[in-house]
Each structure stands twice: as structure tokens, then as C-alpha cells.
Amino acid sequence: MLLKDLVALSFCNFDVILTINIPEDESPYQGYPFPIKIIRNAYPKGFGANHNAAFALSISEWFCVVNPDIRIRDLNLESLLSPFNNKTVAVVAPIVLSPNGIVEDNARRFPTFIRLTKRVLFNKRGADYESSVAPYFVDWVAGMFVVFRRDAYNQVGGFDDRRFYMYLEDADICRRLAKKGWQVMVNPCVKVIHAAQRASRRNLLHMRWHFVSALRYLTGF
């Protein structure tokens, strides 16, 4: 469980903002050594809307988006944030590994019709970027673990939750940041594990959300 992973870290100088998207037992979220603010939705909201609401409650210079299916074995916070020393960097993400230790393609080039067609119809899912030992620039990073510079997130108004309910809101925000002159980096010095659900490949509703988001991203509507 992600919260237990956070307890095991050598530092606890952070706040956790947790969203209850549908009612559930909240007892597992009690008794942690760091503050936990809980947002309780009256109805389920999408990825962008939930994180925009969390951002509104946050106060830190850095805003970290983390999926609950992320596992963190170790985390050097200073190392993770070091790319932000470059004042043009708005977004930093770690290397993301599968539970089997395989590097996932969380860093990608901006979607185009051809790129999406190759991924969906021809299952062309190779990495867009070669791995490096030093932090490197990319077009966008997937939202399972992303750290934003607060000023940059504010400048573009966060995720576009009016157009994107789920999927590609991470590509969209990185594209809007790029248009403002901001940059996105992957920091290979830091690694996390992602137990991905891949719901859009099995669930018809998620497939629909994915298709609609792709259409809106490509057309601008």
C-alpha cells in the first residue's frame, strides 16, 4: 500500500491529500506520521478534476500527482527534485518500472494521429526515448507519478477537467506548459513501481473515455 511505503521513507516533511472518489472504509487512512487531508466527493470525478481539487488544498512549492497503485521502495527527495534547479523545468517524473522490473514507457512524444493509430491498431508501444543516466527532456510524462512546479501548474490552470474526464490530460497539460516555454524532464536517478491496471484495454467505459480524450486532444475540441 502506497501510504505504508511513505511511512518507510527517511523523511516525512510532506502532506498527503487523498481523494475518496466513491464512499469507502476510511479506517486504513488513520494513524500516519504525516498529515492526511481527505477530499470526499459527492459523486465520482475524473482524473484532472480530482487533482485540481487536491492542488487547491496544497501549499507546497511542489505538487506531486501519485496513483494509488504506485509502490515506492526508496525515494531520495533531493535527487528527485534536483532537475527543478533548471528554472525552465515545470515537470519532473521518475523512471517507472513494472512489478517485474521492466521499464514502462511513461515518457513519450506528443500524440499524433499516426502515433495513436500505431499504438492502438498495431500495438506499436516501443519506448519513444532512449534511457539515460542523467535527467533528460521529454515531450510529456504519464500521470501515474509526476511532480509539478507550483507556479507552472498555476500558470496553465492545472489539468483541463472540462475537456478530459480521464486519459491524455497528462499529455495535454504538458503540451500547454510547452507552449508557455516550460519543459518536462525524466529523472532516471529515481525509480518507482507501477502495478498498472490497464482498464482501458478491458473495460468498455474506459475504452470510450480513452477514445473521446484522444479525439479531443487531436482536434482541440
| Domains, in order of start, for the chain | 62-219 (3.90.550.10)
- Looking at the chain, how many residues does it have? 221
Instruction: Give the span between the Cα atoms of 183 and 175, in whole angstroms.
Output: 9
Average pLDDT, the chain: 90
Nearest CA among 35, 70, 215, 34 for reference residue 143: 70
* Residue 124 confidence class, pLDDT cut points 50, 70, 90: low
Q: What is the pLDDT of residue 118?
A: 74
Give 127's pLDDT tier (boundaries 50, 70, 90). confident
- Measuring CA to CA, how many Å separate 156 from each of 90, 176, 181, 188? 11, 7, 11, 26
| pLDDT value of position 123 | 60
C-alpha Rg value of the chain to the nearest Å: 17
Amino acid at 192: V
Name the pairing type of β-strands 62-66 and 183-194: unpaired
User: Which spans in the chain are helix H?
Assistant: 2-7, 47-57, 77-81, 113-121, 150-155, 169-179, 204-219
**CA pair distance 71, 8, nearest whole angstrom:** 11
Measured CA to CA, the distance from residue 190 to residue 185 in angstroms comes to: 12
| Residue whose entry in the numeric block shows the C-alpha cell 477537467 | 161
Residue 127 makes CB contacts below 8 A (sequence gap 6+) with: 103, 105, 107
CA nearest to 90, candidates 99, 102, 81: 81
C-alpha cell of 210? Answer: 480513452
- pTM here is 0.91
What pLDDT is attached to residue 146? 97
- Helix or strand holding residue 28 (H, E): none
Residue 73: the pLDDT is 84
